[in-house]
Structure 1
Amino acid sequence: MLKEIKSIPLAAFLSRLGHKPAARKGTRLWYKSPLRQEQTPSFKVETTLNCWYDFGLGRGGNIIDLATELYQSTDLRYLMRCIANSCPVPSVQTVASSFAPRHSAPSMERFEVVPLEHRALVAYLQERGIPAHIAKANCKEAHYSFKGKSYFAAAFENVSGGWELRNRYFKGCRGRKYISYLPWARDGPSTECTVFEGFIDYLSALTLGIINGADAIILNSVVNVNKAVPYLKDYTTINCYLDNDNAGQTALAELKAIYGSIVIDRSTLYSEFNDLNDFLVNQSSNIKQNK
């Protein structure tokens, strides 16, 4: 089973997580690191050897080593299940189903969630165009240890009780990877729902004021599209703010195949950018330059 997991192409695994290469040089693919925020791609995948190296972190290895960094766990069974749940390879899905579900990564110790206040996290979200009042109203602050070291990150809860974690250097999840569902619920049930890939895009939409009165679903990974289906069945309009890449467009096509014309592609708003947050950051930058 481990051999099957290790044989999964890293490029395919990264694609299912929503990461696409920024450049190809021979057998090498270059990405913006999935483990931290960066502008210049410094994460290399060598396709012939099926290995990776992050020059910013000075670490690399195989798909298991990458999953160790992504999910912050050293539990091999947990990591294999995370990889298998993300990858569409049939034989690997069989591996995933053979493992009993686990609701948290055991190596992420002393995990605690508190109100978002840390200046570094607020500053990080502000750099992404998210005002402090929106960040604090919608996110929490997680503190935890991993391999004996202490870390903190902005945290966003999903419906299974897991947490999406982000800071300037890390992007990952604590617990089960699942969708987040946020009913608007101010004046009764909404007939409209908005769908986002990640919570940063959701916060961007709140900042831009484009989803007032609508419920929201954050996929937290495009592989979770099928998990959103039961939540979407009663809406008359589904507005999708997904990424302008192959993974985002595939997720959009899956929703359109199920719900038809009530699914509306809103990515035309930011057609020149990869996602809604990139659009927001650009807008914020232009405003500052014009002042």
Structure 2
Amino acid sequence: MKFEQAKAIPLSEILAKLGISPEKQYGDEIQYLSPFRQEKTPSFYVNAKKNSWYDHGPGIGGGVIQFIEELLKSQGVDNTSHDVSRWLDTIIGGTYAPGLLPVYSREPSPPKFIIKKISQIEEVGLVNYLRK
């Protein structure tokens, strides 16, 4: 695949092919957990309009080509322009099989609220308010 064609592929589509889902979205800004390392708070941002990314952890960013170079580098794989082109052909060309490249899975987050006790509401003011 030619790099000019690759630059037109939305980063969100590449991330989806890798099984990486967005955590939050604000307009054109999409937040993900970093595909380069394990983390609990999203620090990887994609600007859908510019088709660019920035990872606040290491302070790096760029376009589609730089993303793939960094992804290959983070996986301990050669990241030459030939490797990037071959990776694109494999992933975008439709021959990608899940598990071809390891993707960090998130640990399930603990519940944010824990119910310690269930009882009747005894506060008169609150009971009157709830009856309204």
Question: By the TM > 0.5 criterion, same fold?
Answer: yes
- Partner AA of 2:81 in structure 1: L
Match of 1:84 in 2: 89
User: Conserved in 1, the CA contact under 8 Å of 2:11 and 2:52?
Assistant: yes
**Is the Cα–Cα contact under 8 Å of residues 43 and 53 in structure 1 kept in the other structure?**
yes
| Cα separation, 2, equivalents of 1:20 and 1:74 | 24
Q: Which residue of 2 aligns with 1:50?
A: 51
**8 Å contact kept, 2:3–2:65:** no
Corresponding residue number in structure 2 for 1:68: 69
Report the Cα offset of residue 8 of structure 1. 0.6
Give the conservation status (yes or no) of the 8 Å contact 1:28–1:46.
yes
Q: Which has the higher contact order (CA 8 A, sep 6+)?
A: 2
* Aligned partner of residue 278 in structure 1, secondary structure: coil
Give the letter for the 1:85 counterpart. Answer: T
Offset from partner CA, 1:78-118 (integer Å, 9 cap, x none): 1111123112xxxxx39x9xxxxxxxxxxxxxxxxxxxxxx
CA–CA distance in structure 2, aligned partners of residues 5 and 77 of structure 1? 13
Q: Return 5+ residue gaps in structure 1 as ranges.
A: 88-92, 97-176, 179-196, 198-218, 223-274, 283-291
Choose between structure 1 and 2: higher strand proportion. Answer: 1
TM-score where L is the length of structure 2 = 0.68
Q: Quick check: 2:11–2:48 contact (8 Å CA) kept in 1? A: yes
Runs of 4+ in 1 over 4 A off after TM superposition: none
Find the aligned partners of 2:36 and 2:90 in 1 and give their Cα distance. Answer: 19
What residue is the counterpart of 1:14 in the other structure? 15
- Aligned positions, number: 103
Distance 1:221 1:76, change over 3 A: closer
Post-superposition CA distance 1:154-197 (Å, at most 9, x none): xxxxxxxxxxxxxxxxxxxxxxx87xxxxxxxxxxxxxxxxxx6
Matches within 5 A, 1:1-291: 1-72=2-73, 73-87=78-92, 93=93, 219-220=99-100, 278-279=107-108
Q: C-alpha distance in 2, partners of 1:36/1:77?
A: 24
CA distance in 2, matches of 1:278, 1:2: 35
Q: Which has the higher helix share?
A: 1
Q: Shift of the alpha carbon at 1:6?
A: 1.1
Q: Deviations over 1:213-249 (max 9, x none)?
A: xxxxxx3459xxxxxxxxxxxxxxxxxxxxxxxxxxx
Conservation of the 8 A alpha-carbon contact between 1:52 and 1:61? yes
Q: Could you tell me how far apart the structure 1 residues matched to 2:59 and 2:17 are? A: 24
In the alignment, residue 3 of structure 2 is paired with which amino acid?
A: L
Instruction: Give the residue type in structure 2 aligned to 1:82.
Output: W
Aligned-pair identity in percent equals 31
8 Å CA contact 1:10, 1:51 repeated in 2: yes
CA distance in 1, matches of 2:101, 2:84: 16
In structure 1, how many angstroms separate the alpha carbons of the residues matched to 2:26 and 2:89? 28
Residues of 1 paired with 2:11 and 2:80: CA distance?
20
Equivalent residue letter for 2:107: D
| Higher Rg | 2
* AA at the equivalent of 2:89: A
CA RMSD after TM alignment: 2.7
